[in-house]
Amino acid sequence: MTDPPPATRPTRSPGEPGPLRRWWSVFVALPKPLRVTSYVAVGVVLALLATLVVGVVLVRRPLPQTSGEVAVPGLEGDVRVVRDDHGIPQLYGDSVDDLMRAQGYVHAQERFFEMDVRRHATAGRLAEMFGKDALESDEYVRTMGWRRVAEQELALVKPETRAALEAYADGVNAYLDEHSPSEIAVEYTVLNAGGLDYRPEHWTPVDSLAWLKAMAWDLRGNMDDEIGRVLALAGHSAEQVRELYPAYDASAHDPIVGQGAVVDGVFEQDATSGGTRNPQRPPYTAGARRALGDLQAGLARMPALLGRGDGVGSNSWVVDGDHSATGAPLLANDPHLGVSLPGVWMQMGLHCNVVSDDCPLDVAGFTFSGVPGVVIGHNADIAWGFTNLGPDVTDLYLEKVEGDRWRYDGRLRPLRVRTETIKVDGGDDVTLTIRSTKHGPLLSDVSDQLRAVGEQASVDGSAPRDDQHYAVALEWTALHPAPTADAILELDTASNWDEFRAAASSFAVPAQNLVYADRDGHIGYQAPGVVPIRKSGNDGLVPSAGWRPENDWTGDHVPFDGLPNVLDPKEGFVVTANQAVIGDDYPYLLTTDWDHGYRSQRIRDLLEQEGELSMAEIADLQLDTRSPLAPLLTPYLLDVELPRGYYAAGQALLRTWDLDQGADSAPAAYFDVVWRNVLEKTFHDDLPEDAWPDGGQRWVAVMEQLLREPANPWWDDTTTEDVVETRDDILVAAMVDARDELTRLEALDPAEWSWGHLHQLHLRSATLGESGIGPVEALVNRGPWEVGGGSAAVDATGWDATEGYDVTTAPSMRMVVSLADLDDSRWINLTGVSGHPFSSHYTDQTDLWARGETLPWAFSKAAVDAAAEDVLTLTPGG
């Protein structure tokens, strides 16, 4: 779908937007009134925008040079940058050092503003660029110490990884040294016109490592569920809360690995035959719940570019030659992440002119701007894909704090304390005091409300003392330094299963499911990552009492050799879609908060149904929009009686519905609006707003059980006196309201409804795109696109039932790799390779993505040269 003209874009109400240099308040969903002093800045910006519209030179100035020659200091030989008609670059050089330097240069050409904002975010320095409204995010990141950990990790990575990081940084800096801010990104032109007076500083290896912390944060596991369980306890029994967090049903949804066991600490895939815990938890008083609720709200206000840690998932699968029409393995992957501009991935290839031990790179795939190497893709020998394993790698601890000490094992111990200074654009510097226990930093110190939690209530039932303070500490594996960066280049150069597993062993956080295929016909699966082993008092489900030693981590983690893995599984394929990795008899606790397996089981069923799959069939499977909720809920919706005519018209659509959520489907529109209303009417009266259901896969599992119990107390509307509602009462009310809602939003005639018209993808820049200034937003934002799919469908275009129907998470890319002929592989990006709003490659892949199409993925030199549109040669210089 093409972009609408600016005049058709939604308008904001007067007084809603903030000034350009204070866009952050909108960015974190905290709109603030426009300050009087901001009118001058807005006037400057609007004048600049008028100039930009007329002055083509200014808006095109940041576009990269893509042909001819450019001298790059530090290169030892020429590097050819071959771009196809979508601007996707393939780099050819004589050494790893030259390729890393060139990759840094090309990333900076296309996406430096994105890189710059991300490094400020991961260092807790956004307030330097965007003022005091960025302070809260900076305080959380500084408290967790992301950059401090990244600095320690630089000393842990292998020498060859450090060399790659340094060469990459040198390439970025070579680009910065040659270009003024207005030549680097139009965003700098706009920001500096607003008075920022900013010039980017040099890139460093730590900037690259720190970005991996943001990805770990986005994929951190069950921390929100820990808080959610406690919030739901208010006014409800533990049994009722368990109904909201159903156990994984392995009998209905197969785990990833269906064979093997741990023997003497090592996972053996052919073994046939193995921890229970008895957690002791503190009672959660109103004060403790308020503390955790405030923490959850504060973390939710962190910028979207750092990820939300919820609603994300991914699909990947691999089939062997017996299940492939090519006679060789096929591997598919589509990671699901938040939607933004530019997208998280940039496609790229890195090729040594002569592949050797000294220069082993011959790889292509999806890269992170700011990080050297290829993260997901294939080389000449193997292919790999990622999905989030989702292990429980975070624990929240409620701590008894008294002044500058905290209580542990019956004694008061000193808190670890450090101070940091946050510079604030347009304001005074802020000194931040960061306190930690042995469990980690006190996140509660960031919140004024949480600092007073000790005055609200006791955690253990005893009367609170005047000098006693309860705080919330975070223990998280990503705050323990580890050489995760080693894994990227090791994956890029692995040539077989053993080398692939050796690379995976370095992958500490975020822990991912890795699927594998090679040119020799093998397929496999490996679970990597650092997963803590807890003592008997802590099952990781809810925040623990930090003063009890039995709740600690042991200091050990699940040994890599004990993590599930399989080579050439008996059934001939591997499916990972965030479901349980392995059965309940596995001796180590990975997590209990798995995705419930609706996507994974749908993929498995279709793979088994097809038997032998072609490339086209694999790609079509990625686009499957069938709702897993529809076969569960639809029979009940058809069974209730509605008034004839107007209200029954929506119900009639369901009688012939194929249960697919295509963009043009009227029944899907009705069904999903009914679903949102069912959730609202069932749970909003019972749960605090922070715990309202978003409609994702967990709530499908909740409803699967609840529908079988028509008199379950959750159905009752507690706001109605002397009436006890049942399941059918709620379903009827939801269907009636859904009909009215669709008449208001869509049309009177149900034949004119469509799911895609409700379920739209809006791509917005996470910075200027949230400025609140219409002309600025029109410069950098794109959309909407009407799409199908849904939160728990294979085509996982997620939406949040507490907010509406717009897409909030989506497949950030799609790829299908043919190990029979790598040049037959296909790929697509959610956006495009460029971060420049006036580049033709800013969103040139989005139309294709929305239609379910993919691009040819040229890999061999002959195929790359045949697809070439532009060739830039980077030469040794200065």
The C-alpha atoms of residue 604 and residue 602 are separated, in whole angstroms, by 5
Q: According to the annotation, is 239 in a ligand binding site?
A: no
- Provide the residue type at 1 as one letter: M
Residues 655/661/663/668 CA torsion (nearest 10 deg): 40
SS3 track for 258-293: CCCEEECCEEECCCCCCCCCCCCCCCCCHHHHHHHH
**C-beta atoms surrounding 684 within 10 Å:** 17
Backbone angles phi, psi at 385, to 5 degrees: -140, 160
Nearest to 275 by CA among 596, 531, 513, 569: 531
The C-alpha atoms of residue 63 and residue 393 are separated, in whole angstroms, by 41
Q: Is 314 a catalytic residue?
A: yes
Name 385's Cβ contacts closer than 8 Å, sequence gap at least 6. 316, 318, 331, 332, 333, 376, 514, 515, 815
**C-beta atoms surrounding 568 within 10 Å:** 13
Show the tokens assigned to 157.
Answer: 């990575």
What burial class does residue 550 get, using C-beta atoms within 10 Å of its C-beta: 0-12 exposed, 13-18 middle, 19+ buried?
Answer: middle
Residues 714/717/718/724 CA torsion (nearest 10 deg): -90
Q: According to the annotation, is 448 in a ligand binding site?
A: no
Query: Which of the following is catalytic: 208, 314, 369, 627?
Result: 314
Show the tokens assigned to 548.
Answer: 């009890």
Instruction: Judge whether 391 and 478 are in contact, CB under 8 Å.
Output: no
Angle subtended at Cα 403 by Cα 402 and Cα 404, rounded to the nearest 5 degrees: 105
Q: Which residue do the tokens 């991914």 mark?
A: 314
The C-alpha atoms of residue 506 and residue 484 are separated, in whole angstroms, by 5
- Provide the residue type at 125 as one letter: R
Phi-psi region of 62 (alpha: psi -120 to 50; beta: other; left: phi over 0): alpha
Nearest to 297 by CA among 473, 120, 470, 446: 446
Nearest to 239 by CA among 713, 715, 725: 713
Name 478's Cβ contacts closer than 8 Å, sequence gap at least 6. 146, 149, 213, 216, 217, 220, 393, 508, 509, 510
Q: Which residue do the tokens 């490592």 mark?
A: 209
What burial class does residue 326 get, using C-beta atoms within 10 Å of its C-beta: 0-12 exposed, 13-18 middle, 19+ buried?
Answer: middle
Instruction: Judge whether 374 and 99 are in contact, CB under 8 Å.
Output: no
**What is the distance, to the nearest Å, from the Cα of residue 359 to the centroid of all Cα atoms in its chain?**
33
| Side-chain-facing half-sphere of 798: CA atoms under 13 Å | 24
Q: CA 85 → CA 214, 239, 496, 729, 870, distances in Å?
A: 31, 58, 33, 57, 8
**C-beta atoms surrounding 80 within 10 Å:** 19
The C-alpha atoms of residue 666 and residue 730 are separated, in whole angstroms, by 22
Q: According to the annotation, is 610 in a ligand binding site?
A: no
Instruction: Judge whether 46 and 775 are in contact, CB under 8 Å.
Output: yes
Angle subtended at Cα 297 by Cα 629 and Cα 542, rounded to the nearest 5 degrees: 70
- Quote the DSSP letter at residue 522: -
Name 528's Cβ contacts closer than 8 Å, sequence gap at least 6. 389, 487, 504, 505, 507, 508, 511, 512, 514, 560, 563
> Which residues are tagged catalytic?
314
Binding positions: 226, 392, 395
Binding positions for Ca(2+): 226, 392, 395
